[in-house]
Structure formats: C-alpha cells, structure tokens
Chains A and B, each alone.
Chain A
Amino acid sequence: MSAGILIFLGIFLFGVLAVVGYFIMIYNGLIALKENIKKSWSNIDVILKQRHDELPKLISVCESYAEFEKGILDRLMKAREKYFKAQGVAKKSEASNEVTAALQGIFALAESYPDLKTNKNFMQLQERISHLEETLADRREFYNDSVNNYNIRIKQIPDVLVAGMLNYQDEVMFKVSQKERQDVKIDIKIPKFT
C-alpha cells in the first residue's frame, strides 16, 4: 500500500465520519427546533390559561356595577368561550387576540366609571392582567423567533434535505390581530384663543 492510497483512505474515512456526524447534527438540531416551538407554545398557553382564570373575576366585578355595558362583557365571555374551543396555534392565537381586544374595551370603558376605576378588586385585576399581557407579548415574541428560526432552517441547504426526509413543513406564527396593529386615533381638541 502506498502513501497515496493511505492519504486517500484517510480522507475517505474522515469524509464519511464528517458526513454522518453532520447528518446526525442536522437531524438532532431540527428535532430540537421543532420541540422548542412546542415548548414555547406551551409557555404561551400557561399565560393564556392564567389570563383566562382571571376573566370570570373581572366580569363579576364589572357586573356588580349595574350600569356597566353588558355588550362589552358579553363580547369578552364569547371570546373566552371561543378560546376554549379553539384548536391549533392559528385558531388559538385568533381567539386570544379577541380576548385581548375585549379586555382593552373593558379597561377603556372603565375610565368613564370612576367608582369602578377606583375599586380595589378591579385595580388588582387590571394590574394582574396587564402583567400577564406583558409576559404574553414577550413570550409571543420568543415563540415567533423560534418559529422563524425553524422556518429558515428547513429551507436552508443542507437542512432542507433532512427536513424533506422528516416531512417538516412551515410552522404558523402567533399573529397580532388587525385591530392591535391599527394606529391609535388621538383626537386632541385645542381650545381656540380669541
């Protein structure tokens, strides 16, 4: 056996090892990415569940004010029901956005009810829900980053080959509702100086 053959064998051996090692790494990496998405969704679900547990308390506090608009509370209850029935990320995120919108409506309306606004229970619930909303926003961002990483990876070479074998498809992002994306209309009335 000549040195040339030995070099060729060495390169071949390292080549095979490199290809196998790289394949295993890509495969494990894709599995980890997929599991990361599941886990980050579960982390969102935990917060959504906590927020939903607070909703009946908020509704009962608001209901104690007889004059409080029933329509807006009904909207929140319907959104809550819809969330429980929702299956899959897309439907759940849609229902969650409806809950967020209904909650925003309640908190905005509460401004016109000074008694309700200063109610201790209401204030505590508002604070708690606001905190949960903030956490939810951060976790949604994290989830979308995880999905984005995954969606990019499964389209890149060489990951696309392994993703094809595993039949991995694009994952859905947690989208923000159209309403949340709209600009806030500020109507400032400036008194006229004469």
Chain B
Amino acid sequence: MSRVHIEGSEPIIALVGLGVGVYFFFAGFKELKSKRIIQNIPTSKINTGAVGTNVEVTGRIVCEKDKIVHAPISGRPCAFYSIEIQRWEKNRKHGRNSLGSHDTGFDRGHWVTVESFYSDKGFFIDDNSGANAMVLVDGAVVKRKGDTRDYEMRSNNFDQMPAGLRQSLDTNQKKLRRFKLKNTSWLFSNRFRFREWCFSVGERIFVLGHADSGLKAPKRNTMKFKTFMRAKKAIQENEKLKERFDTNKDGKLDEAELERGAKIVAQQLEAKYSKEKLEDLSAKTKLVFKQKKPNPFYISNMSEKELIQDLATWSTLKIWGGPILSTGCAAYLFTLYF
C-alpha cells in the first residue's frame, strides 16, 4: 500500500521540485544583490547621515522605561516584538490527485503565515552620535539570529492559550483580517502556530533603508496594555471611580463599563507620565527609516559582517542548489513520461 503511495506522489514532488528549484535560483540572485547593496553602502552616523536616500546605520535599541513591553509567549521584557500567526496547510487532501491517478494518502503539509503584528510601529536606535533614529518596521526584511518562541494549538482550544498571547491578539484584533480569535468546533478546527521574536533594549541592530528626516517622525500614541491594566485595577480598587464609570447606575461595574473607564483613565495616565519621556526621544530623532519602494530595507540583529556572510552562504546555496534541483526533477519527469 505504501509503495503505491510513493509512486503516485513522485511526479507531483518532481513538479514541485522543478518549481522550487527555479524559485531558489531567482531568490538566490535576490540575496546576492542584497549582499552587494549592503557591501556597497558605507555606515553613516545617525546625527550626520544624509536624509532622503539609502542610509546604513548600526546602533543599540533604546526605549523609554515605561515603553518596555513583555513578549506575549516568552514573557521576556523587550523594546519590540513580533507575532506571526501561522496555519498548518495540507499539501494535498486525500482523494484523487490532479493527474487523475489513484488515492495517494499523501497528506504532508506546511506552515503558512496568515497574519503578523508588532508591539508598536517601530523602535529607536542610538549610535552615540548625539541623535537617534526611528525604525518603522513595516515592510522590512528582518534577518535575525537567536531563537524564536513558538506556541502551537488548535483553533478549538483558543480559550486555553496563555493570557499574554490572548491579550496581545485581543488588542490587535482589528488589524488582523485573516485571523479571528474565535473558538471553532473540533470538526472544523485548524492547527495554528504563534511565532514570537523580539528585540531587547540595548541589542545591537543593523539597519539599511531609505531614511527620512526626523521631522517626519510619526507620533506614537498607541495606548500601552500595561497602563490599561493599571487603570483597570485602579478603578476596581477605588469606590469613587467605580461610581463614576457606573453609567447605568445599577451599583455594579460590568466589563464594558470597566473597559471604557480604564481606557479613559489610561489615556490620562499616559498623558501625565509618558509625555515628557516620549518628547525626549522624539526630539533627538534625526532619521526615520521606513519602507519606500524600490529601495531596500533590512533590519538585523547580526553585525554587518555576519549578515553579509549569511547572505553569501544562502545565495550560493540557492543559486547552485536551485538549478541542480530543477534539472534533476526535469530529467526525472522526462524519463517518466517520454
């Protein structure tokens, strides 16, 4: 039975291999091009870097003390984190395959990233030149060294996920169009994986991208979850505040009333405590890195040398491995059908 399975799936594997090989070949060239761009652009100082052009800087991540966030899965304190939501997708389902042959039973799959979100729009880096740069991560190629944290579960068990992860998903729910945090029935459940990576305060970061003037730095006005929770606690512990936010005057503070009140109090708290510190970092911002096509945009916690080495290795493997894979698969298909 298993022999039949392998025979039936081989042409498909060969066809996929042919495509993957071609893809690797071109991806390898893309990485080689990236490597050469990084090598060609010298490192600038943030304070004197020219704006309106591609700039390469290295520096350490800086963050206001009250802006430090906790990564949802690992709970690590960091300046910035990213969560990738991945869904397990089967390569093929049981049944007749596209070539019309018999049932193969071939049900291997792969993880597909359906959504991703960040803790904030970006972070600040400082290179001791007397100014800092803001890095807006959206659209950047992020090359990281170091581990990622994964959390795997099925969609019928969403209510059992860690509180931190749930909170961060809840907060970003509006942005997530292709992912809904709703428990499904076991029958229609999907396998999900939540992948977390983060940049810690003080971590050395390499950035290459289009730099705008610091005057264009966007105002960061997203409310911090920590402040929101603090505000919620403050209301629960204070009778006067409870009374103030009890809008239907039933003597009880239900969840909706509590959340509405917490939002108001958190806004006031943020305005009171964070304004000075925020203005301090923003005032020193000389460059703002953001995606501007067709300019390259790379962020990495590797050194420039390590990054170049990494790109060189992968580009060589892909440029040579891609054609070998494609040619091998094409030759196999040829022998199979001609």
Contacts and interface: CB of A to CB of B under 8 A. Distances in A.
Contacts, number: 67
Interface in A149-170: 149, 153
A134 B45 CA distance: 11
A146 interface: yes
A3 B29 contact: no
Interface string A115-147: 000000000000000000011001100100110
A33 interface: yes
Interface string A1-38: 10100110011001001100110010001001100100
B32 interface: yes
A36 B323 contact: no
A29 B53 CA distance: 16
A11 B43 CA distance: 39
A69 B330 CA distance: 84
Given A7-B331, A43-B50, A145 B338 contact: no
B188 interface: no
Interface string B160-172: 0000000000000
B338 A14 contact: no
B268 interface: no
B326 A14 contact: yes
Contacts of A29: 33, 36-37, 40
A77 to B, nearest CB: 28
Nearest to B53: A39
Given A25-B29, A135-B48, A138-B48, A149 B334 contact: no
A60 to B, nearest CB: 28
A25 B48 contact: no
Contacts of A18: 25, 319, 323
B48 A134 contact: yes
Contacts of B303: none
B323 A6 contact: no
Interface residues of B, number: 29
A14 B334 contact: no
A122 B123 CA distance: 39
Given A7-B327, A25-B32, A36 B41 contact: yes
Interface in B184-213: none
A136 to B, nearest CB: 9
Nearest to B54: A36
Nearest to A134: B48
Contact of A149 (B25, B42, B47): B42
Contacts of B322: 14
Contacts of B327: 6-7, 10-11, 14
Contact of A142 (B37, B42, B326, B331): B42
B29 A33 contact: no
Contacts of A40: 50
Contacts of A138: 44-45, 47-48, 129
Contact of B338 (A1, A43, A135, A142): A1
Contacts of A153: 40
Contacts of B338: 1
Give the one of A14, A25, A29 with max B CB within 10 A.
A14
B101 interface: no
Interface in B38-97: 39-45, 47-48, 50, 53
B335 interface: yes
B44 A146 contact: no
Interface in B270-294: none
B29 A32 contact: no
Contact of A10 (B47, B319, B323): B323
Nearest to B18: A10
Nearest to A11: B327
Contact of B323 (A11, A32, A39, A148): A11
Given A3-B335, A14-B326, A14-B327, A33 B40 contact: yes
Interface of B: 25, 29, 32-33, 36-37, 39-45, 47-48, 50, 53, 129, 319, 322-323, 326-328, 330-331, 334-335, 338
Given A18-B323, A138-B47, 7 more contacts: A10-B323, A10-B326, A14-B326, A25-B36, A29-B40, A39-B50, A39-B53
Interface of A: 1, 3, 6-7, 10-11, 14, 17-18, 21-22, 25, 29, 32-33, 36, 39-40, 43, 134-135, 138-139, 142, 145-146, 148-149, 153
30 contacts: A1-B334, A1-B338, A3-B331, A3-B335, A6-B331, A7-B327, A7-B331, A10-B323, A10-B327, A11-B327, A14-B25, A14-B323, A17-B25, A18-B25, A18-B319, A29-B33, A29-B36, A32-B40, A36-B40, A36-B41, A39-B50, A39-B53, A40-B50, A43-B50, A138-B47, A138-B129, A139-B48, A142-B42, A145-B43, A148-B42
